[in-house]
Every structure is written in C-alpha cells, then in structure tokens.
Amino acid sequence: MAAALITGASTGIGREFAYLCAEAGYDVVLVARNEGKLQALAAEIRQKTGRTAYVFACDLSDPHAPQALYDDVICSKIDVEVLINNAGYGMLGKFAELNAAEQMQMIQLNIHALTCLSRLFLPAMIENKRGKILNVASTAAFQPGPLMAVYFATKSYVLSFSEALHNEVSESGVAVTCLCPGPTATEFDKRAGATMTKLFKGAMDARTVAKQGWNSLKANKPLVITGRKNAAMAFMTRFAPLQMTATFARKVME
C-alpha cells in the first residue's frame, strides 16, 4: 500500500497533513520527536480512517537522522509515494543573542533534513514515475527577517530549492510543491517565543493551511501561498528594495 511520510506530524500543520493523507487513502508514516503524541495520533488515525499508521520518533536536527529514518522505512518495506517535509521551527530575537546551538539545529532541521529526505526518496519516485514532495516554507521566504534572521533565510532556501526541483522533475511524473503559509495557529509561536508579536493576530487555522497545500500538491502547482492577504504581500515584496521589506518585517516582529 502506498504511504505518505509526514515530518513534524505530532502537532499543528503536520498533524492535519497526516489526517488529509489518511483520508485520501494513504497509509501514513508519522515523524517527530514526541513519540507519545505520535502514538496517540496513529491510534486516532487507525480508528477514524482505517489506514495503517506507522510511528518513527526521531530528532531530525541530528545530521544522521534523515538517513537512519530512510533506512528504517526501507527495512519496514513501506512504499513512500508522498513525502511532506513539514517539520521546522523559528526563534525570535537578535541573531547575536539567541542560543547559537539552537540556531544551528534550526538550520539542520529546516534545511538539511528536508534536503536529505528529498534526495533519499526522490530517485525511486522518478523511477516509478509517480510520487509527490511537499516542502513547507513560509511567507518568510520572500524577504529578510530581522529578529528572525536565520528562520527567514532557511525558508528562502526551501522556496528556492523547491521551485528548482519542481522544474527538474517536471517531465518525470513526480509533483513538487512549495507551501508558504502565513501566520497559522499552531505550537509554532510558542516555540519561537513569538506569542506576544503582532504577527499571529488573525492567524489561519492549521486544517485550512494543510488543505491548501495538499490540494496544490495534487494539482502539481509549484507554489502555494495561503490566504489572499499573504499572497498579495508576497507579490508586492518583488517590487520593493530588500532594505524596505526588512524594515517592514521588523515592525511586525516587535
């Protein structure tokens, strides 16, 4: 049976992706660090959708984790047809003052794990002429982000990488989509230390965001920006100097 592997499935947008994939008839491979939450979600999914749900608890900021996860999935003879690289986090504060190790781990998770997992699963998808990869970036991808400098830069990478990959595999039967959510009601703002910013006022709900991503992946769209206002803002940044967009981004972060 074809399966969908979702990173960051324990909460937020990833949890909704897990449901959407199971409802669409895929078995699901749930990945995050919190095994208890994943096991509870797996039980719910089995009960509500009748699909098989596997749990692989791991810390994807460990540089060796993506390969170990891939090896475990292959060993378990799971046929991954859909890869959703969703796990990620941000940190609010000045680059020089935030915990250095945590910022490097963010780069490992947001960039390295996403790239490694894409590289590991894509060749079989191309060979089978079927497969889907959804990479979760952010509206942060479109401009520099003072007070979240590393996070914004990691999401620019995800956007650029995904657009290039979409182009490379366009004739292969494999779909690649980049999802750019704006502020969404999840655990993200708590982990980022950003609950007090103006940014999360009027945040979208995680189910709507995941659904837009999933529908765009099914249609093999290269890019989806959730919410009309977010899409308009992302479009406008194309015509503004980087310094101006950086100043604006800082204002909403304070």
Q: Quick one: which H or E segment has residue 149? A: helix 149-168
CB 83 within 8 A of CB 5: yes
Containing 19, the helix (H) or strand (E) segment is helix 12-23
CA distance linking residue 135 with residue 154, whole number of Å: 12
Please list the alpha-helical segments (H only) found in 31-108: 35-49, 65-75, 100-107
Tell me how far, at minimum, the Cβ of 89 lies from ligand NAP, in Å: 5
Interface stretch with ligand NAP, choices 17-25, 43-51, 86-94, 118-126 (CB under 6 A): 86-94
The catalytically annotated residue of 19, 37, 155, 251 is 155
- Name the segment binding ligand NAP (CB under 6 A); options: 95-103, 118-126, 161-169, 176-184: 176-184
Site string for ligand NAP, 121-160 (x = CB under 6 A): ---------------x-x----------------------
Q: Which span sits near ligand NAP by CB under 6 A: 10-18, 43-51, 211-219, 235-243?
A: 10-18
- The stretch among 68-76, 91-99, 164-172, 187-195 that binds ligand NAP (CB under 6 A) is 187-195
Residue 152 near residue 145 (C-beta atoms within 8 A): yes
Q: Is the dihedral of CA 220, 214, 56, 52 positive or negative?
A: negative
89 binds ligand NAP (CB under 6 A): yes
What residues are paired with 6 via a beta bridge?
30, 84
What is the longest distance spanned by two Cα atoms in the chain?
Answer: 52
Using the rule CB under 6 A, which residue among 32, 78, 150, 165 binds ligand NAP? Answer: 32
Coil, strand, or helix at residue 131?
strand
Q: Is 87 in the site for ligand NAP (CB under 6 A)?
A: yes
Distance of CA 188 to the CA centre of its chain: 12
Q: Is 218 noted as a catalytic residue in this protein?
A: no
Q: Which of residues 190-249 bind ligand NAP (CB under 6 A)?
A: 191
Q: Which residues are catalytic?
A: 151, 155
Q: Tell me which residues touch ligand NAP (CB under 6 A).
A: 7-14, 32-34, 37, 59-61, 86-89, 109, 136, 138, 181, 183-184, 186-188, 191
